[in-house]
Every structure is written in structure tokens, then in C-alpha cells.
Structure 1
Amino acid sequence: MMSGAKKKPTWNDLKRTIGGLDRDALLGLVHDLYVAHKENKTFLHARFGLGDDVLEPYKATISRWVCPDVMRNQDYSVSKAKKAISDYKKAVGHAEGLAELTVFYCESCRDFLGFCSVDDEVYFNALVRMFEQALKWIRQLDSDQQEHYLERLDSVHYRAGDWGWGVSSDMSELMAEYGFAEK
């Protein structure tokens, strides 16, 4: 290491610097972050509950990446779709919002697989893992909230028999493991 080289800045370094800002400077910083990247805007809207549907941008991202428009030669990306859920969790992390996003992910995969054949073990494994995440989040909800989400997952599970890769049997095992009897 070169002598005189500075260490990498840390959160504590940044916190000290931000702590010295007055209100206007802090608002200016947040504004600059807000306009710098779409993800920052989405994060802040979700964190503060702004807008009619804070889940909509996350759903749009999920849909784009697990249910792409193949007529426009769009490809799919499990990691980019999952990142939307992770981003929401960091911004807000409400169990009901996470249940909605994970179930929506599964439904988007179902929709894509309904009109497009996919032979990708990673895609199917990610779908099963997301199905399990959905069950985990649903289980955290009040029983009167669970039914709606379980019905939607049942619809995904019903179609899974058409896909192979053991997806349907994996989903059946998960439903039993999480104590949700199949309908």
C-alpha cells in the first residue's frame, strides 16, 4: 500500500459528515439522490408510503424480468426480478407487501410458462424457492388475510403440473411443510 493512501470511507465517516449538514443541505442531498436514479425514487416512495400503489414499480420490474415480452426479443432474468423484492424489503419490508410481491412473482412465472416453453433449471428452481418465500410471508399474516394469497398460489400450483422439473411435487411438499392444506 502506498504511504499516505487514504482508507476506504465507511458508513461512520459518512454519518459524521451528514450529521454536520443543516436542514436545507440535507434536503438538497435527498433531492439529488431522488433525481439521480429511478431506484432511489422508488425506494423513497415506498419508504414513506407515497403514491397510490407503492408496489406497482416493484411488480413492473418482476413482470418484466420473469414474464418478458418475447415478441420484442426480451430475455428473462431471475436475479433482476428477485432484486425488486429485495429492494422492497429494504425500503419497507411489510409482510403483506412481501407476500403480495412473492405471490405476484409466482403468478408472473405461471403466465410466462403458459405461453412460452422454458427449459431452464435455474428458472424453475427460483420459482420453487419463491413459492416457499411466499408461503413464509403468508404464514406471518393474520388468518383472514392468508386465504386470498393461498388461492392465488393454488392457481400457480395447479398449472405447475404442466411444467416438469418436479415443480408441482416440490410445491405440494412445501404446502404441506408450511401447514397449508391443498384445496
Structure 2
Amino acid sequence: MTKSSTGTKKTTPSWSDVKARLADLERAGLVGLVQDMYAASKENQAFLHTRFALGDDPLRPYKATITQWINPADYRKPLSVAKAKKAISDYKKALGQPEGLAELAVFYCEEVFDFLAGYSMEDEGFYVALERMFEQALRHVLALPEARRAPFLARLEQVRALGQNVGWGVGDNFNDMWLEAGLD
């Protein structure tokens, strides 16, 4: 808390404060607020499109973000593991369907190897993040009903094979995770 110039204590606004103000809005005011939020950012648009199942591919903006930050078309653009992973986190907040989470985690791994097919990377943190995402992808896939797993597992098997050609112990770690998951 901080003191204002009048000597009263000010607090940082919280969700409770916002919720109380929302309760005062009529329907038209609430719709107007959501419209303003929609117009404020592409992230808000993607969130609302996903939440309300609008459009033909709700994963498209999240995949585009992953590609932008892990496998950019222009190799001179910076990579950002954190921003690519945030796309998955954003999807989870918007809808979080298990199959969508599996798709995005597997896609992330595939995009890393698509990037590595043309460029080298000498950053241990990049590979640690890849290993964590592979583990997350396995977890998401194995949480799906058995009938839905096969296509994802086939793609992860390809990712695992590609990992054998990377240093930093990636291939060995992929194999360990695969075996720990009871696959093979």
C-alpha cells in the first residue's frame, strides 16, 4: 500500500475491485467493454474467438505465435522460447481443451526441429525448453482417450528420432521420457 497526497492509503486494484465494478454495468455497458477489449489487442481477439469457438481453426493464432518465436520466416528475427510457450498458456486460459493442448505442444516441438533443419543453436536453455515441451506434449497426449493418441504419438516418435541428432543430451532425455511414459 502507498499513501496518497491526502494521506489515505491506496491499494493496487485487484480482480475483486474489477468484479464489483462489472456488477454495476448493464448488459449494453458490458458488451461495450468487451468490444473495447476485443479491439485493444490481437491476443484478446484470439482469446474470445477460441472461447466462443469462432472461426474454422481456433489453434491458428496460437500456432502462428509459436512459429513466429521459434521458427521465424526471417532468420534475423530473434527467437523467444518464453513468447512461444506463452501461446500455449494463452490457449489454456482461453479454452484449454486437452486435444488442443496436445496439438500445440507437439507443434512446438516440430517447429523447433524445422528451425534446426536450417540453423544451428548453441543455447543450452533452448534445448532444456525443448525437452520440457516434449515432456509436456507426452503428458497431454497420454491424457487423451486412447483412441485419440495414435496420430500424436506418431508425430512425437518423429520428434524423438530427430532428437537423436542433436547434442546437449536431447536424444537420450527424449528416450528416457518415452520409456518412463511406458512407450516402447
TM-score by length of 1: 0.95
Aligned partner of 2:93: which letter? K
What one-letter code is carried by the residue in structure 2 that aligns with 1:22? Answer: E
Deviation of 1:69 after TM superposition, in Å, equals 2.6
5 Å matches for 1:116-127?
116-127=119-130
Match 1:84 to one of 79, 84, 87: 87
Deviates more, 1:77-86 or 1:172-181: 172-181
CA distance in 2, matches of 1:89, 1:15: 22
1:110 aligns with 2:113: yes
Give 1:45's match in structure 2, choosing from 46, 49, 53.
Answer: 49
In 2: Cα distance, 1:70 partner to 1:20 partner: 48
> Deviations for 1:15-38, whole angstroms, at most 9, x for unmatched residues?
111011001000000000000011
Match of 2:60 among 48, 53, 56: 56
Picking from 10, 21, 31, the partner of 2:25 is 21
SS state of the match for residue 66, structure 2?
Answer: helix
SS of residue matched to 1:8: coil
* Of 151, 154, 171, the match for 2:154: 151
CA distance in 1, matches of 2:179, 2:33: 49
Amino acid aligned to 2:70: V
Partner of 2:142 in structure 1?
Answer: 139
Consecutive unaligned residues of structure 1, counting only runs of 5 or more, are: none
| Corresponding residue to 2:8 among 1, 4, 9 | 4
Q: Percent identity?
A: 48
1:5 Cα offset (Å)? 3.7
**In structure 2, the residue corresponding to 1:26 is in which secondary structure?**
helix
AA paired with 1:69?
A
The 3-state SS of whatever aligns with 2:77 is coil
Partner of 1:169: 172
Q: Distance in 1 between matches of 2:159 and 2:98?
A: 20
Q: Distance in 2 between matches of 1:36 and 1:56?
A: 20
Q: Helix, strand or coil for the counterpart of 1:164?
A: coil
Q: Does 1:32 align with 2:36?
A: yes
TM-score normalised by structure 2 residue count: 0.95
Q: How far apart are the structure 2 equivalents of 1:132 and 1:44?
A: 29
Structure 2 distance, partners of 1:116, 1:180, is 30
Paired residues in the alignment total 180
